[in-house]
């Protein structure tokens, strides 16, 4: 059932009052009747009113997910039929690509060119990749040493999966969570971030249109402290998958303890990006710009700790400063915009607070360090900011800022920079720029991070596993690695005597 059948433009979708939530195949208002506003961060204006899920709605959604998991069509579908449904979602995303890109940009603020070129195509790709896995969830035959026993394993779905996602890549995060869970035969209750609920809900309509049975996918916008917490603690949820801050990740672990839900967490980062003197410097400087300023720095893998060898430090700093000054700030929906607004007033305050702390602790911005003025003052814009004179122990060099703010620090030796890069509670990503093959392999081995990029940054593919070391989380998304997160292994012993 589509929410409104004519919703092929953002304005048609946004015209609903309120935009409803998806529970058991029905588009419904919150049990409490409450709604919340979602804001356009480029202007600070309200985009739409959205139904606000709370514990009672989560209860209904979990019950719908359980019914769909245990009975009805879903458990009877063949793997091939499940795969076709996922493939159909990818087709529908492509058919509605422009509408989804515009909605994403309006709600999140990101430049439309990235919504068009990155967010929407990679979302479709994710559904296609996992459509293929539905038919390949194989068990094993085990050569046990007990006479007359035939022993094999089955990979079975977990059950009802709760998924909580952040606001930085709303559509992509929804696909990272939904596609593998559904390929494995689970049912899902998804809570998008309060700042960016729109594209997940529109995706919900496309999922209904693709023909998924009622209750297999439930999408409930609402606040973390109420809807999110109720989902994480719910005794009827078998597994919880979370992407967001490390702080909330820890709360999820505590909340999941009562019924010992399986948990996977993709959390924060403070990723080191290291430029050696033998790198192609122009290329590395551009790479370092992309590493920090893509998506306004609101990326869990953002290259926010830049180490430049002391012999190239000045060139790196001045090269980046020049490029940052030329960046085109503007509303996301303007096709010439390179850097959009931050997602919310709260995030703006947070980032400006870190900038103030950086200055107070003695670091110096070579550019930026302030909000954008003029027409942009009404939105949540921060100028691209590059900090010089930074020490490893400063707050801005240790904590995740999640904004267009990079600290640049010099280094001298390979071992020294590897040790400093690893001095973090986080271990999500790292990058190295060098043309020396020995350094490449030494650094890949030395860096304690779930992904290491060499002479590139922010590469993602549905086939390549992604996830964190240390307090950047546990479990992996993407690739076949994520199948472990959404299946459980059953071992069967058959006595042949």
Interaction between residue 245 and ligand NDP (CB under 6 A): yes
- The residue among 112 and 267 lying less far from ligand NDP, judged by its C-beta, is 267
Query: Could you give the angle at which helices 198-210 and 170-183 cross, rounded to 10 degrees?
Result: 30
Least Å distance, CB 161 to ligand NDP, is 14
The answer to whether residues 485 and 475 touch, using CB atoms and an 8 Å cutoff, is: yes
Least Å distance, CB 191 to ligand NDP, is 6
Interaction between residue 244 and ligand NDP (CB under 6 A): yes
Interaction between residue 402 and ligand NDP (CB under 6 A): yes
Of 10-18, 48-56, 164-172, 322-330, which segment contacts ligand NDP by CB under 6 A? 164-172
**Which residue bears the tokens 């911005």?**
365
The C-alpha R_g of the chain, in whole angstroms, comes to 23
Point out the residue whose Cβ comes nearest to ligand NDP.
224
Interaction between residue 223 and ligand NDP (CB under 6 A): yes
Q: Which of 57, 99, 400, 477 binds ligand NDP (CB under 6 A)?
A: 400
Beta strands 451-454 and 405-411, pairing class: unpaired
The answer to whether residues 486 and 157 touch, using CB atoms and an 8 Å cutoff, is: yes
- The residue among 252 and 430 lying less far from ligand NDP, judged by its C-beta, is 252
Catalytic residue of the set 205, 300, 400, 477:
300
Of 31-39, 188-196, 318-326, 360-368, which segment contacts ligand NDP by CB under 6 A? 188-196
Of 247-255, 281-289, 334-342, 438-446, which segment contacts ligand NDP by CB under 6 A? 247-255
Number of residues this chain uses to bind ligand NDP (CB under 6 A) = 27
> Cα–Cα distances in Å, from 218 out to 142, 173, 483?
37, 15, 21
The answer to whether residues 212 and 85 touch, using CB atoms and an 8 Å cutoff, is: yes
Of 136-144, 190-198, 199-207, 387-395, which segment contacts ligand NDP by CB under 6 A? 190-198
Q: Which of 251, 270, 371, 476 binds ligand NDP (CB under 6 A)?
A: 251
In 3D space, the residue among 302, 306, 282 whose CA is nearest the CA of residue 293 turns out to be 302
Interaction between residue 398 and ligand NDP (CB under 6 A): no
Interaction between residue 166 and ligand NDP (CB under 6 A): yes
How far apart CA 453 and CA 290 sit, in angstroms, is: 13
Helix (H), strand (E) at residue 322: helix 313-326
**Which residue bears the tokens 């992996």?**
476
Beta strands 429-433 and 451-454, pairing class: parallel
- The residue among 60 and 82 lying less far from ligand NDP, judged by its C-beta, is 60
The answer to whether residues 240 and 231 touch, using CB atoms and an 8 Å cutoff, is: yes
How far apart CA 82 and CA 92 sit, in angstroms, is: 16
Beta-carbon contacts of 393 under 8 Å, excluding residues fewer than 6 positions away, are none
Interaction between residue 168 and ligand NDP (CB under 6 A): yes
- The residue among 101 and 252 lying less far from ligand NDP, judged by its C-beta, is 252
Give catalytic status of residue 400 as yes or no: no
Of 104-112, 177-185, 187-195, 283-291, which segment contacts ligand NDP by CB under 6 A? 187-195
Footprint (CB under 6 A) of ligand NDP, residues 438-497: none
Catalytic residue of the set 194, 266, 400, 477:
266
- The residue among 232 and 339 lying less far from ligand NDP, judged by its C-beta, is 232
Q: Which of 10, 157, 204, 228 binds ligand NDP (CB under 6 A)?
A: 228
- The residue among 44 and 72 lying less far from ligand NDP, judged by its C-beta, is 44
Give catalytic status of residue 208 as yes or no: no
Beta bridge partners of 365: 387
Interaction between residue 267 and ligand NDP (CB under 6 A): yes
User: Nearest 5°: CA angle at 392, between 386 and 397?
Assistant: 45
What number of other Cβ atoms are within 10 A of residue 422's Cβ?
17
Sign of CA dihedral 442, 445, 449, 455: positive
- 408: phi then psi, degrees, rounded to nearest 5: -115, 130
- The residue among 195 and 424 lying less far from ligand NDP, judged by its C-beta, is 195
The answer to whether residues 204 and 175 touch, using CB atoms and an 8 Å cutoff, is: no
Least Å distance, CB 138 to ligand NDP, is 32
480: which DSSP letter? Answer: G
- The residue among 83 and 228 lying less far from ligand NDP, judged by its C-beta, is 228
Got the DSSP string for 45-92? EEEEEEE-B-HHHHHHHHHHHHHHHHSSSGGGS-HHHHHHHHHHHHHH
How far apart CA 306 and CA 396 sit, in angstroms, is: 12
Draw the binding track, 340-379, toward ligand NDP (x: CB under 6 A; -: no contact).
----------x-----------------------------
Interaction between residue 119 and ligand NDP (CB under 6 A): no
**Residue 263 Cα to chain centre, angstroms:** 16
- The residue among 350 and 420 lying less far from ligand NDP, judged by its C-beta, is 350
In 3D space, the residue among 302, 279, 332, 261 whose CA is nearest the CA of residue 113 turns out to be 332
The answer to whether residues 177 and 188 touch, using CB atoms and an 8 Å cutoff, is: yes
Draw the binding track, 269-308, toward ligand NDP (x: CB under 6 A; -: no contact).
-------------------------------x--------
Least Å distance, CB 270 to ligand NDP, is 10
Q: Which of 268, 297, 319, 331 binds ligand NDP (CB under 6 A)?
A: 268
**Which residue bears the tokens 């985009």?**
47
Taking every pair of Cα atoms in the chain, the longest distance, rounded to a whole number of angstroms, is 83
Residues belonging to the active site? 266, 300
Give contact residues for ligand NDP (rule: CB under 6 A): 164-168, 191, 193-195, 223-225, 228-229, 232, 243-245, 248, 251-252, 267-268, 300, 350, 400, 402
């Amino acid at each position: 059932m589509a929410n409104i059948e004519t919703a092929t433009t953002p304005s048609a979708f946004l015209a609903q009052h309120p935009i409803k939530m998806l529970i058991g195949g029905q588009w419904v208002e919150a049990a409490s009747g409450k709604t919340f506003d979602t804001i356009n961060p480029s202007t600070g204006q309200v985009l739409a009113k959205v139904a606000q899920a709370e514990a009672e709605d989560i209860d209904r959604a979990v019950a719908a997910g359980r019914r769909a998991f245990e009975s009805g069509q879903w458990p009877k579908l063949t793997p091939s039929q499940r795969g076709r449904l996922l493939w159909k979602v990818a087709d529908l995303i492509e058919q509605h690509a422009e509408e989804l890109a515009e909605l994403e940009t309006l709600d999140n603020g990101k430049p439309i060119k990235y919504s068009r070129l990155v967010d929407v195509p990679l979302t479709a790709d994710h559904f296609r990749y996992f459509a293929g896995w539905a038919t390949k969830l194989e068990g094993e035959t085990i050569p046990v040493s007990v006479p007359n026993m035939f022993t094999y394993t089955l990979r079975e779905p977990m059950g009802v999966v709760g998924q909580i996602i952040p606001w930085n890549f709303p559509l992509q995060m929804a696909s990272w969570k939904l596609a593998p869970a559904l390929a494995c035969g689970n049912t899902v209750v998804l809570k998008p971030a309060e700042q960016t609920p729109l594209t997940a809900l529109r995706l919900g309509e496309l999922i209904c249109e693709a023909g998924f049975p009622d209750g297999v996918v439930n999408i409930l916008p609402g606040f973390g402290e109420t809807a999110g917490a109720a989902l994480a603690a719910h005794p009827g949820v078998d597994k919880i998958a979370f992407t967001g801050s490390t702080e909330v990740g820890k709360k999820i672990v505590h909340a999941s303890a009562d019924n010992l839900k399986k948990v996977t967490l993709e959390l924060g980062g403070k990723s080191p990006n290291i430029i050696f003197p033998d790198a192609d410097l122009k290329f590395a400087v551009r790479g370092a710009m992309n590493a920090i300023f893509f998506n306004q720095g609101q990326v869990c893998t953002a290259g926010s700790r830049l180490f430049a060898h002391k012999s190239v430090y000045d060139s790196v700093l001045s090269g980046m400063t020049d490029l940052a000054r030329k960046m085109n700030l503007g509303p996301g929906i303007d096709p010439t915009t390179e850097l959009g607004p931050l997602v919310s007033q709260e995030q703006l305050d947070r980032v400006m607070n870190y900038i103030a702390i950086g200055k107070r602790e003695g670091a110096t911005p070579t550019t930026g360090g302030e909000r954008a003025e003029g027409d942009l003052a009404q939105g949540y814009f921060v100028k691209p900011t590059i900090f010089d004179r930074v020490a490893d122990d400063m707050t801005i060099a240790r904590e995740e800022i999640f904004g267009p703010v990079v600290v640049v620090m010099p280094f001298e030796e390979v071992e020294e920079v590897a040790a400093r890069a690893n001095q973090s509670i986080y271990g999500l990503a790292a990058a190295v720029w060098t043309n020396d093959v020995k350094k490449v392999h030494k650094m890949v081995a030395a860096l304690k991070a779930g992904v290491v990029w060499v002479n590139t940054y922010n590469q993602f593919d549905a086939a390549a596993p992604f996830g964190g070391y240390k307090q950047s989380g546990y479990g992996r998304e993407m690739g076949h690695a994520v199948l472990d997160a959404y299946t459980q292994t059953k071992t069967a012993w058959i006595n042949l005597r």
